[in-house]
Each structure stands twice: as C-alpha cells, then as structure tokens.
Amino acid sequence: MTQLTHFDEQGASRMVDVSNKEITDRVATAHAKITMKPETFQLIMDKKIQKGDAFEVARIAGIMAAKQTSCLIPMCHPLNLTSVKIDYTNNSVDTIDIFSEVRVTGKTGVEMEAITAATVCAITIYDMCKSADKGMVISDIHLVKKSGGKSGTFIFDENST
C-alpha cells in the first residue's frame, strides 16, 4: 500500500522533509487540451483575438504560474526553477494541445509546476477567447513524463487510465 507523504503518523498535514534527499536534475512535462468552435480556433490562429496574441499571453501566464506553484498548492516546496517552456500543437480544426516542460536542479520534483503551467495556459486561452466562445472545454490535464530523483522516470501510459 502506498503511503501518502503529506500526512504524518497521526494524520496531521505536513510538508515533506526533503533535507536528506540528493540534489538531481529534474524535469517534468505536462499536457492540457482546450477545444473550441472552429471559428474561435481560426481567430486564434489568425491572431485576431481582441485581447492580443492568445498563444503568447497564455505562454507568459503559464511560465508565471509555474514560478508561483508553491503559493497555490499548499504542500509544494518553493523551487528555484531553471527553465519553463510552453509549446502548442493543434489539429487544424478546433483543438489546441498545450505542453509545458519545467526543469530544476534540486531535492524535489517539478511535476506540480508543469501541471500548473499547462493548466493556467489553457485557462488563459479561455479568458482571451471567452467573448467569442464561452463553450470552450479544458480537458486532458495530466503529467506526461518526469525524470530525476529517487523514483526515476515516469512516462504516462494513456492505456492505463
């Protein structure tokens, strides 16, 4: 049985003590998806959203969110991130896939930072485009891959969910 590390033996909440962990290079990649009307998708692709370039505003929001994760998620350690990247792919019709990659050299991983970055990026695209399409759907938020640390490498298997 897996032990939940954010609780002590008495069930009290705690921040995990990482003082004895080794410093390693750690990388995490996360994914989020936003689906919309084809007309909204085209507005984004043509950079005709009134609030500005949705991709670049969302990219900045995702980077900022990764840096603030410990302020948002109570048990996350504040980390000195070394890199945050946001990339987009699309199906040329109505869906934008968001991939965030976060890196740190430290004693704890950056999975939550990567997931937060991808999620806030999707939320920002929604905010930028909601006047054109309030029915956009944000979905498929998950950790894609992580490496480094004691637990090693994890790769998401979409067939296991």
Select which of 127, 133, 140, 157 is catalytic: 127
Q: Phi/psi at 116 (nearest 5 deg)?
A: -65, -45
Q: Are 77 and 85 in contact (CB under 8 A)?
A: no
Distance in angstroms (rounded) separating the CA atoms of residues 101 and 111: 9
Residues paired with residue 26 on neighbouring β-strands, in sequence order: 104
Sheet strands (E) in 6-75 = 24-35
Reply yes or no on whether 127 is catalytic.
yes
List active site positions: 127
